[in-house]
Structure 1
Amino acid sequence: MRTLAGTGHLLRLALRIDRLRLPVWVAVLALMPMGTAAQYQQLYPTDESLQIVSGVVSNPSLVALNGPLFGLSIGGLTAWKIGITELVLVALMSVLTVVRHTRAEEESGRAELLGATVVGRAAPVTAALLTVALANLAIALLVAATVVGVGLPAGGALALGLGVGATGVLFGAVAAVAAQCTRSARTATGIGLGALGAAYLLRALGDSGPVALSWASPIGWALRLRPFAGERWWVLALFAAATAACVAAAYALLGRRDLAAGLLPERPGPAAATPALAGPFALAWRLHRGVLLGWVVALALAGAVFGGSASSITDNLDANQNLVDVLSRLGGTTGILDAYLAAIFGITGLTAAAYTVQATLRLRAEETSGRLEPLLATRTGRSRWLLSHLLFALLGTALLLAVAGAAAGVAYGAQVHDVAGQVPRMLADVLVQLPAAWVLAGIGVALFGLAPRLTALTWAALIACVMILELGALLGLSQWVLDLSPFAHVPHLPGDPFTATPLLWLLAVAAALVGGGLAGFRRRDIG
């Protein structure tokens, strides 16, 4: 048990470090289902109104997006609407938390200092996993309690909470495995998020095609726990088995590597740098290219999946005003197909913005790792260095949106025999999301330059945008709250008329934020 010595102390340290961050995550994830359920009780007070909803949400395209509706009730509709969002966010929270308390601590050198005390080798990983487990347990119990509080059945509420919590714990274990494989916290986070993206795509393909693919995805398992629709409690055993396997793998890999090293082999570089690395822009390209390539593949696959599903959006639906109104309540605009595409492109914009934030925060990672100071000791200036990384955050986001739009256009165009017409159309529709994503980059740069210790709050800005998109209209939030999200000002294409004015304002805001951050960075101390 000496390898676990000091676990309790590290657990208390982790909880202290996250004393503000984790309570926000827990509160948001716990209150979202309650708010959704309360709003649906007002929107659909009778069984007749629910019958109209069933005709919409059973459409193959919406099933690919949100999963199947297993039970026609307020509880079942709540689980359908909020389930995917909850599962993705709780997995994101768990991945970031585990990597922050394991691989990031080793990368910064703090883990080595702690290792010189009475701390066992497995204690940091164990403390990180316990931190995530406690956070997810709190989320599960609070989800169940708050949903019961608005009058829904206790069994379904408990199943919904446990599905969310079990998913978070599993992805925390996946992140623990990723932390053993690489020496970079950024790469470990990328591996964890890549696993999350793969699970989402498998679930989407399985729900709209071979159901076996959904059973290969932890997100599919959580949905098939079937809250409020004849709960399948045995599905929790799948989570337990997978989590135990990942935890065992993490401990086994931990014993086979050195401290601050990863299991994935590192290729030694050449003795002298090539001309391709002459300058900060070349170095930034070298640092960003791997992550950018992974995002390109993921967005291309997602665009192809959802573009291919668009052709079936009008199948089995009668084009009457009631159905259009229901779809509008679920987040659409005008027209069934346009509403689906606008929703897809909005989600694509937020997904690409996650890369924007990740690439922008590389600035802070380079500074805290100690690599920035020797670089600035050369002829490289501060502004040039910052702009070199910002270039890949901005242009990389544009590339991701273009790839997703092109893939969606090809997939949809092939089914309607109009590839040449649909590709440019969908490219234009998705690229309007770019200025909103650039505002998040501006927020990241502003925090980096003016308040570097708060740079991680850029992720909070992205999560707030996701919440507003998913639940803003449904919960009837005030317009000024909705307007806080830059994505709320983007034209919802296709469907809405295109107006350039809000896009120009977003670009101006992004430029002002970048300018402020750059000015602050040029004047503050490094460290």
Structure 2
Amino acid sequence: MRLVALLLRRHRVALLAWTLSLLALVAATVPAYEATYPGLAARSVIVEQMRADQGSRVLYGELGADGTYGQLFAWETGTYVLLLVAVAAILLGIALTRGEEDAGRVELVRSVGVEPGAPVRAALLVLSGFCVVVGAGTAGILLAQHDPVELSATGAWGFAALTVVVGWTFGLIAVLSAQLRGDASGARSLAFLVLGMAFATRAIADAAASGRLGWLNWLSPLGWKGVLGPWDQDRVWTLVPMLMVPFALAGVVLVAVRRREVGGALLRGAGSSARRARVRSVEGWSALLSRGALVGWTVGVLGVAVLFGSMAQGLSGTLEQDASMRDLLQQMGVDLASPEQAYFSLLGSMVAVTALVGAVSLVLRWRAEEVSGRLVHELAVGTARWRSLLARSAVAAVAGVAWLALGGLAMGLLGRMLLEGADPMGAALRGTIGEAPGLVAVVGLVTLLCAVAPRVAVVGSWLLVGWSAFVLWFGQLVDLPEVLLEATALGHTGALSLGVLAALGAVTLAAGAAVVGRRDLRLG
């Protein structure tokens, strides 16, 4: 239990941040539905429109025929909750296992006589505890909002249990990836590849006409929501075979741990090449180190843009016919002068958040190199510390702006093909490229955090991203004070605000470069 306590202490901020964020999303949804949608009987037309929209089926799955608050929650917010739980479990699973090994802490613990499998078992206990706490909190919130018609207790318990099972499954996939790959970055890439395949499998299963491919949902943890049917069919018995998957993965993980040494991997790496890398500058070296991430995030941003762009025809029609949806978007601060323009403006913000996450992750790679000790080798050949950090930040800023432009262009081109008599290219580009100053400002702030407060740089950076996304999408919906609505990097349209953000980015980048050389390197 001492190892468990040590892991809880080291990762307490990330555990607490993910838990509170997920529970806040669960708690805010049903009251928002009550304030937006009409009564159950008057809701039938809206529900039929949502059920008939192919784009919504691809993104969220199939909505229950009755359209109760519970069914709407499971269909829309439930999709986000399960996806975010999966992301949290992957990041925590890697950090608790391979991240501890990369930092040398597992070797240190093993040196005092701790049994070889104990660190992984402690990590599994912490990961399981996180999933159970999120599931229990979800159940408590939904039961507190209980309504015998709209939000039944059976559905609440079923969805909460599903949250635990899905989180545990993806967390164990991450821990298994940590045994297969030789570093945290490779393990994360492998785990997120599995997550992407799971989402694609669920989307294919739900998009097929007449549910003829519904059996595919059994193969995807993200598709288990459609199998269980919380607040709809409530097939609680299906949780039993689902629960067998994480138990089987746990067994495989424990076997894999015994078959490798500390710091080793079960899969061979790409190895080395006899060819010299043609690097002429620190900036070129930074781009070379980030090329895998650059390709991956480019594909991811374009995938998000194509996914949402392909839904334009159905969802823009829903905006024209659904007064409740228009009211909800107006509460979120979306200008509804034109349904097509409103749609592409909203979805442009989603592409922008995806690009922002990618840009921040590129800057944080410098901090990861510092922790692992690889940065020492770069500095040993005479590279100035400020230039090394700024090179990573420059790659992140340029890549982020390029992703915004590519995403907006892809959505605009798809909109032109799908919508007759409308040209959404301007709205799509404004929704993405218009966030470029905010992206640069966040990159600058993350750079400054890495320079001044390295121990909290990772957590602080992701809290900044999460806050910006929350205010952008939900700030006006939950009636945040005006001062908080302005205290975000995204969603600004005025020339003055955009100029301030661009200036903030420049100032923080310069400040980070000026102070990073005044502290010691923080390894491990």
Is 1:43 aligned to residue 36 of structure 2? yes
Query: Unpaired runs of 5+ in structure 1?
Result: 1-7, 492-498
Match of 1:61 in 2: 55
2:179/2:256 contact within 8 Å kept: yes
1:183 maps to what in 2? 182
Identify if the C-alpha distance between structure 1 residues 348 and 199 changes in structure 2 by more than 3 Å, giving closer, same or farther: farther
User: How far off its partner does 1:259 sit?
Assistant: 1.9
Q: Aligned pair 1:246/2:240, yes or no?
A: no
Please, which of 100, 106, 109 is the counterpart of residue 105 of structure 1? 100
Please state whether the residue corresponding to 1:102 is helix, strand or coil: helix
1:157 to 1:277, Cα distance in 2 relative to 1, 3 A: same
CA contact (8 A) 2:344 2:427 kept: no
2:119 is matched with which residue?
124
For normalisation by structure 2, the TM-score amounts to 0.88
1:208-245 Cα offsets, whole Å, 9 max, x none, are 44653555432221354322223121332353233234
Matches within 5 A, 1:252-271: 252-270=255-273
- Quick one: distance in 1 between partners of 2:488 and 2:17? 18
- By how many angstroms is 1:372 displaced? 1.9
CA contact (8 A) 1:435 1:507 kept: yes
Partner of 2:12: 19
Greater shift in the superposed pair: 435-444 or 99-108: 435-444
CA–CA distance in 2 between the matches of 1:320 and 1:103?
A: 48
Contact kept in structure 1, 2:174 and 2:188, CA below 8 Å: yes
1:504 aligns with 2:495: no
Report Cα offsets for 1:344-397 as digits up to 9, x if no partner. Answer: 221111112121121111111111111223322322112211121112211222
Partner of 2:449: 447
Counterpart amino acid of 2:251? Answer: A
For 2:58, the aligned partner's letter is A
Distance 1:487 1:250 in 2: 41
Decide which moves more: 436-445 or 50-59: 50-59
Distance 1:358 1:89 in 2: 17
How far apart, in 1, do the equivalents of 2:237 and 2:473 lie? 30
1:424 Cα deviation after fit = 7.4
Match of residue 71 from structure 2 = 76
Aligned equivalents of 2:420, 2:145: Cα separation in 1: 49
Which of 229, 252, 258 is the equivalent residue of 1:226? Answer: 229
2:326 alignment counterpart: 324
- Give the Å deviation of 1:330: 7.2
**Relative to structure 2, which stretch is displaced further, 332-341 or 391-400?**
332-341
Report the Cα distance in structure 1 between the residues aligned to 2:270 and 2:32, rounded to whole angstroms: 55
Q: What is the rounded CA distance, in whole Å, between the counterparts of 1:69 and 1:424 in structure 2?
A: 32
CA separation of 1:313 and 1:268: change in aligned 2, threshold 3 A? closer
| RMSD, aligned α-carbons | 2.8
Q: Contact 1:31–1:146 at 8 Å: present in 2 too? A: no
* Equivalent-residue separation in structure 1 for 2:398 and 2:412 (angstroms): 21
Superposition deviation, residue 257 in structure 1? 3.0
Stretch deviating more after TM superposition (102-111 or 313-322): 313-322
Alpha-carbon shift at residue 294 of structure 1 (Å): 1.5
The letter for the 2-side match of 1:41 is E
Measured against aligned partners, the alpha-carbon deviations of 1:97-155 in whole angstroms (never above 9, x if no partner) come to 11111111111222112222332322222222211111111111111112211233221
Partner of 2:391: 388
Distance apart, 1:332 and its partner CA: 4.8
Q: Which residue of 1 aligns with 2:288?
A: 286
- The equivalent residue for 2:166 is 167
Which one is further off, 451-460 or 146-155? 146-155
Equivalent residue runs for 1:292-331 within 5 Å: 292-315=294-317, 319=321, 321=323, 324-326=326-328, 328-329=330-331
8 A Cα contact 1:482 1:488, kept in partner: no
Question: How far does the alpha carbon of each residue in 1:435-493 deviate from its partner, in whole angstroms, 9 at most, with x for none?
Answer: 2223322221111111111111211222223333443333333333333331232x4xx
Once residues 112 and 472 of structure 1 are traced to their aligned partners in structure 2, the CA distance between those partners, rounded to angstroms, is 45
Compute the displacement of 1:297 (Å): 1.9
Q: 1:406 to 1:418 in 2, by over 3 A?
A: farther
Report the 3-state secondary structure (helix = DSSP H, G, I; strand = E; otherwise coil) of the residue aligned with 1:20. Answer: helix
CA spacing shift, 1:484–1:219, aligned 2, 3 Å: farther
TM-score of the aligned structures, taking structure 1 as reference length = 0.88
Task: Report the Cα distance in structure 2 between the residues aligned to 1:322 and 1:27, rounded to whole angstroms.
Answer: 29
Unmatched tracts of structure 2, length 5 or more: none
Residue 263 of structure 1 aligns to a residue whose secondary structure is coil
**1:31 corresponds to which residue?**
24
Corresponding residue number in structure 2 for 1:88: 83
Identity of aligned residues (%): 28
Residue 14 of structure 1 contacts residue 101 of structure 1 at CA under 8 Å; is this kept in 2? yes
